[in-house]
Amino acid sequence: MRVAFFSTKSYDRQSFDHLLPDYKHKVTYFEAKLDRNTVALAKGHDAICTFVNDCLDETILDQLHEMGIKAIVLRCAGYNQVDLKMAAKLDIKLCRVPAYSPEAVAEHALALLMTLSRKTHKAYNRVRDNNYSIEGLTGFNINGKTTGVIGTGAIGKAFCKIMLGMGCKVLAYDIYENEELKRMGVRYMPLEELLAESDIISLHCPLNADTFHLINENTLSHMKDGVVLINTSRGALIDSKAVINALKSRKVGNLGIDVYEQEEDLFFQNRSEEILQDEQIARLMTFPNVLITGHQAFLTNEALVHISETTLQNLDELASGGKLSNEVKYQPKGHKN
Ligand code: NAD
């Protein structure tokens, strides 16, 4: 297949170029993010390959269809950025890379948590400045704390196991319970109870109509004072305005996020010479107890290998017209994915 790759970085090209000689697909790499200004680049291809912040709304899908694009392969697990109903209507096939390395994301959630708990980001800068004062670096033990995990699919499950290993009591909320986790001692409960009992809360559910702004003024009010909130899932699970207020009132004691509600126009670019226009992320950055990374939880060597292998296999299956192992299908509300 002739495939247009959008939002490609050096690490994508490296991992795909390594494997491409073994496949028949002809790839064109574009650095540009897919949007209304760049969609024309797809012309002359059979399929496109996109990442988390590429826009696949109704208008773009329609334009892709007009150009003869028959398939979209996502280099990611989440697919909240795709208008699935429209893709189905246009008969554009969609495949993703499920669970390419749940541990990569779960370990990044732990990295955010441990950086916040021991302030290693501050210590690093102090020591490099010949400043060995440890005043203000008092942290907290994770061992013995209660951790609430929202969404116990592939990543949430890996995170539950890590936190059990850290000596935490682990609570979980999901629309489906995982029997293996229950046997390991994870306790499922209604969301409100989890929010009220947890010292640490980590989000691992997908973004959809039910989970949009799951963390809002109301749900924040149910949490313990000083709760640690970690989000490596999708930005819009958290209402940024509400969490800023909760940080100001100290309801949220620490916030670690790898994803941000308005990240589409910010992340994956060096903007260090630009004037930051997003007031909310600017405010979030002013808090001493907020740690932000730019959607890098997936970025390990192991995950990149898995992403490129699965994406090329997805393209093979699409080209052969056979069964699609990793197809994402439009499911009207009420269906289990
Ligand atoms: P998964 O599909 O294996 O698990 C998601 C879980 O969430 C499932 O158990 C599902 O039942 C549960 N869920 C669905 N709706 C829910 C709701 N309303 N309330 C509670 N739970 C609900 O997905 P995964 O591979 O574990 O990935 C989870 C999310 O992590 C993805 O959707 C993606 O947004 C995000 N992600 C982020 C990165 C990153 O680099 N930061 C990388 C990969 C994935």
The domain segmentation of the chain, as residue ranges, is 2-100+301-320, 102-292
Superfamily of domain 102-292: NAD(P)-binding Rossmann-like Domain (3.40.50.720)
187 an active-site residue?
Answer: no
Paired tokens of 295: 């959607």
Q: Over 80: is that where the pLDDT of 335 sits?
A: no
CA-to-CA dists, residue 157 to 127, 146, 152, 153, 187, angstroms: 36, 16, 5, 6, 12
Q: Which of 103, 261, 263, 317 is catalytic?
A: 263
Give the CA radius of gyration of the chain: 21
Probe ligand 1: pick from 9, 52, 105, max atoms within 8 Å of CB? 105
CA atoms within 13 A on the CB side of 8: 20
pLDDT of 334 reads 57
Structurally, at CATH architecture level, domain 2-100+301-320 sits in 3-Layer(aba) Sandwich (3.40)
* Predicted confidence (pLDDT) at residue 244 exceeds the cutoff of 80: yes
How far, in Å, CA of 318 to CA of 204, rounded?
Answer: 29
pLDDT tens digits for range 268-316: 999 999 999 999 999 999 999 999 999 999 999 999 999 999 999 999 9
Question: Buried b / exposed e across 240-264, counting CB within 10 Å, b at 16+?
Answer: bebbbebbeeebbbbbbbbbbbebb
Is 317 noted as a catalytic residue in this protein?
A: no
Same fold, 2-100+301-320 and 102-292: yes
What's the pLDDT tens digit per position in 129-155? 999 999 999 999 999 999 999 999 999
Residue of 205, 199, 200, 217 lying closest to 173 (CA atoms): 205
Q: CB count, 10 Å around CB of 149?
A: 31
Residue 265: per-residue pLDDT: 87
Cα first-last separation, the chain: 28
User: What pLDDT score was predicted for residue 320?
Assistant: 96
Q: Is 183 tagged catalytic?
A: no
- Whose alpha carbon is nearest atom 14 of ligand 1? 205
Distance CA 140, CA 116 (A): 9
User: In this predicted model, what pLDDT tens digit does every residue of 43-86 receive, in sequence order?
Assistant: 999 999 999 999 999 999 999 999 999 999 999 998 999 999 99
- The answer to whether 299 and 11 have CB atoms below 8 angstroms apart is yes
Model confidence band, residue 331 (pLDDT cutoffs 50, 70, 90): confident
| Substitution site in 53, 205, 299, 310 for ligand 1 pocket (most atoms within 8 Å of beta carbon) | 205
pLDDT at 100: 85
Where does ligand 1 bind, in terms of residues with CB under 6 Å?
77-78, 99, 102, 105, 150-156, 173-176, 204-207, 210-211, 232-234, 258-259, 295, 297-298
